[in-house]
Amino acid sequence: MPSVNLNADPITDSEWSPHILLAFLQSQSQTALTRLYHKPSSCLSVFRLLRPLERQLIMNLLWLESTIPMSTMSAWVTQEGKKPYDDSLSTLARLHIIPKSTTKLALNATFRTSLRQAITGGGTTGSFGVPAEPDPQHPPPDIATLDAYALERWETILHYMVSSGTGQHPTKPSQEVLFLLQRSGLMTKTRGGVLQITSSGFQFLLHDPHAQLWELLLQFLHMAEERQMDLVEALSFLLMLSTMELGLAFATENLSPTQNAMLADLRNYGLIWQYDASARQFSPTRLATTLTSSSPPLPTSRNTGAGSHDQGFIVLETNYRLYAYTDNPLQIAVLNLFVTLKARFPNLVVGAITRESVKKALANGITADQIISYLTTYAHPQMRKNKPLLPVTVQDQIRLWELEKNRVKSQEGYLYTAFASQQDYEYVLDYAKKLDVVLWENPTKRCFFGSLDGHANIRGFIERRTAEKA
């Protein structure tokens, strides 16, 4: 059974799954991407989301004026680097950064110009945000205020989600946020018109804040397309935010109408801070400025000790007991999804992972791997001395409980019966087997079960055969 290995070696490290935004970018057209690459800040942010080898490849080509032959570049990777190198090239081709070619390598000209400009500075694009004139009446908030604001906004959203089924009534996020949650399938309206969290919503809660943020933002971008907003403008605004400096105020005058319209939404998610809705300047919060980095997007949780977010707070013992050093209602609510809580102290929650609690979580659509990865991510520093980090017994048992649930698998399809002769039956069965659609067969009863997608073919085959006979 695979166990989570934190100290992965560098080779597998460089093979970490690509960023969620890159998949989205790859689905965009070449013209849209080229427009996006006109902004130096967008290029820099996209560049940062790439994997190390891809970044190095771009850097190698960045300062070359002419194209270089494919063979020259491939001589530069070692034997074991061949596969990652080919993968990188195909990723970059799909992003239209290095156009696909079998003979020559060169960067997309727009991308090259913009990234050069980003690194050397200068130009007149103003893509890193125009700083606002200091306003003596409303000075920009300090970093602590911004952090508190971002955290409050973000936790309101998550807390609303997690307690939606429990009958509590926490503060409601704004209407737009609720709509977004509903559109993304994280929450759904029940018959009474009350929003209820869905199984993908439960899974969402167990992701780390960075992934959660991007999941919502991608949904936002999908919606932007439907709302007739300019997708490239929206995207480049997000990427611009990620290159801005925390604690500075920026002017809204130079933003396009689309980007001005986005301000309200981003304010609701806690990505930016504004004095009021009509203010002519805005300050990005830590949620926004860490969009393209891997540093924690949220500051330390309120009320808890320093660094509880990045340090972890969960201690799990081999006897399935779990101690969580937290008093954050959101974290407790998330734990409550798969832990039977037994006792609560001012800074500590004690509970146990039981069959019932895990079954409840599985019924909500949470998978065993998600539970395990949540426990790993938020493990207490003391736990990190253990190897493996989580007790193997507990990990295995959680997975076994999941298997228990998966004993019966359902599949849609058609049952073919009442064949006139054994010969007919075998003839059709042969055909179905060739298509690889047979799920179950019983020769004595002359029937077999085929999957849904094979039905049209089999049906046509039988019809043709009966027609031939007649």
Our finding on whether 51 is near other proteins (CB under 8 A) is yes
CA geometry: angle 317, 318, 320, nearest 5 deg: 70
Q: Taking CB under 8 A as the rule, does residue 228 contact other proteins? A: no
C-alpha 267/C-alpha 154 separation (Å) is 11
Instruction: Enumerate residues 345-404 that contact other proteins by CB under 8 A.
Output: 381, 384
Indicate the residue among 64 and 109 with the shorter CB distance to other proteins. 64
Q: How far is CA 1 from CA 212, 269, 379, 397, in A?
A: 28, 39, 20, 11
Say what angle helices 392-405 and 368-377 make with each other, to 10 degrees: 150
DSSP state of 229: -
Task: Out of 86, 133, 245, 453, point to the residue binding other proteins (CB under 8 A).
Answer: 245
Residues 128-147, interacting with other proteins (CB under 8 A): 128-131
Token pair listed for 2: 């695979």
* Residues 6 or more apart whose Cβ sits within 8 Å of residue 277: 264, 267
84 binds other proteins, rule: CB under 8 A: yes
Residue in this structure with the two tokens 């689905």, named with its chain if needed: 27
Does residue 47 interact with other proteins by CB under 8 A? yes
User: Is residue 304 near other proteins by the rule CB under 8 A?
Assistant: no
- How far is it, in rounded angstroms, from Cα 101 to Cα 187? 45
Residue 301: what are its φ and ψ, rounded to 5°? Answer: -65, 145
Distances in Å between the Cα of 48 and the Cα atoms of 60, 65, 89, 214 are 15, 23, 16, 15
Question: Facing residues of 344 across strands?
Answer: 349
Sign of the dihedral defined by the CA atoms of residues 340, 345, 346, 348, in that order = negative
CB of 428 to other proteins, least distance (A): 52
Nearer to other proteins, 75 or 408 (CB): 75
CB of 91 to other proteins, least distance (A): 14
Residue span binding other proteins (CB under 8 A) among the ranges 13-21, 90-98, 392-400, 407-415:
13-21
What does the alpha-carbon distance between residue 316 and residue 335 come to, in Å, rounded to a whole number? 12
Is 260 near other proteins (CB under 8 A)?
Answer: no
Q: Does 85 bind other proteins (CB under 8 A)?
A: yes
Q: Is 254 an interacting residue with respect to other proteins (CB under 8 A)? A: yes
Whether 314 and 296 have beta carbons less than 8 Å apart is answered as no
Instruction: Show the CA angle centred on residue 198, arms to residues 193 and 201, nearest 5°.
Output: 120
Check residue 171 and give left, alpha or beta (phi > 0: left; psi -120 to 50: alpha).
Answer: beta
Q: Among the candidate windows 31-39, 290-298, 337-345, 443-451, which touches other proteins by CB under 8 A? A: 290-298
> In the complex, what is the shortest distance from the CB of residue 307 to other proteins, in angstroms, rounded to a whole number?
7
Q: Is 295 in the site for other proteins (CB under 8 A)?
A: yes
Q: Which stretch, 98-106, 222-230, 288-296, 320-328, contacts other proteins (CB under 8 A)?
A: 288-296
Interface with other proteins, residue 118, by CB under 8 A: yes
| Cβ at position 123, least distance to other proteins in Å | 5
Q: If binding means CB under 8 A, how many residues of this protein chain bind other proteins?
A: 60
- Please state the closest distance from residue 13 (CB atom) to other proteins, in A: 6
| Residues 6 or more apart in contact with residue 112 via CB below 8 angstroms | 61, 62
Is residue 122 part of the contact set for other proteins (CB under 8 A)? yes
Identify the residue among 23, 30, 31, 64 touching other proteins (CB under 8 A).
64
**Binding flag, residue 225, other proteins (CB under 8 A):** no
What residues numbered 173-212 form the site for other proteins, per CB under 8 A?
none
Task: Enumerate binding residues for other proteins (CB under 8 A).
Answer: 6, 10-11, 13-14, 16, 40-41, 44, 47-48, 51-53, 55-56, 59-60, 62-64, 75-78, 80-81, 84-85, 117-131, 243-245, 247-248, 254, 290, 292-295, 307, 310-311, 381, 384
